[in-house]
Amino acid sequence: MSDTPAVVEDLALGAFRLVKEKLGFDLDFTAETLPILDHYLISLREEDGGVPDEKVVALVAPCAGAYFGEVLRRTLPGFRWHTPKEDYQGWRLEGERVFLSLNPIGVVLEALHGQALADWAAHLALMPEDREAVTRSLEATGPVREEDYHRLAVRHEVVEQTLSVLGALAASKGEGPVELSHEVYASVLDGKSPAVDA
């Protein structure tokens, strides 16, 4: 995990321990383990009558979010972490070659609550000019059942498809490789540019 910030590594290993303790399953940072993590998160929600205990959420969300983010970073090309200290709402994965970001902890919070949450940047942030092509591509795959919408395995597929669309768009424009810095993301996202809900 040489490219992983230490805080992310520690939290992701926390998810490994939580899932091992509850389900007896070893997570291995592959996309194939995301349904197991989904099962774990759904079981937490169901144990509390559909509304997860906030103390449990405060423990589980950062760990599972770090794990989910690491799975994305390891299995899909060109992501890096942005992890401002003690500000989980400000965490995000950023595309290094195409403009695409999301907060993996926010994604997990939505999975735990089973609904969209404001202020957590859980949905994909894109450049406005890329939104239409990405939306068309995602809609072409067909509708997603409401109960599946917040599953991490589904989100992984959405991010993978979006990266493919963005790569094709860049190639069709004849754009060479770019290097997007944290500062580029900060300037665009602080301006609250529109995001695609995915």
Tens digit of pLDDT for each residue in 1-19? 458 899 999 999 999 999 9
pLDDT digits (tens, 9 = 90+) for 120-177: 999 999 999 999 999 999 999 988 887 788 999 999 999 999 999 999 998 888 776 6
Q: What is the percent of the chain where pLDDT is above 70?
A: 93
Residue 46 binned pLDDT confidence (cut-offs 50, 70, 90): confident
Determine contact, residues 106/66, Cβ cutoff 8 Å.
no
DSSP string covering 56-108: HHHHHHHHHHHHHHHHHHHHSTTEEEE--TT-GGG-EEEESSS-EEE-HHHHH
Q: What is the pLDDT of residue 99?
A: 95
For residue 85, the model assigns a pLDDT of 87
Q: Give the pLDDT of residue 48.
A: 67
* 64 token code pair: 């599972």
pTM of the predicted model, to two decimals? 0.92
pLDDT at 196 over 70: no
Which pLDDT does position 120 carry in this prediction?
Answer: 93
Is pLDDT at 32 greater than 70 in this prediction? yes
The side-by-side arrangement of strands in the sheet containing 100-102 is: 79-82, 92-95, 100-102, 124-126, 195-196
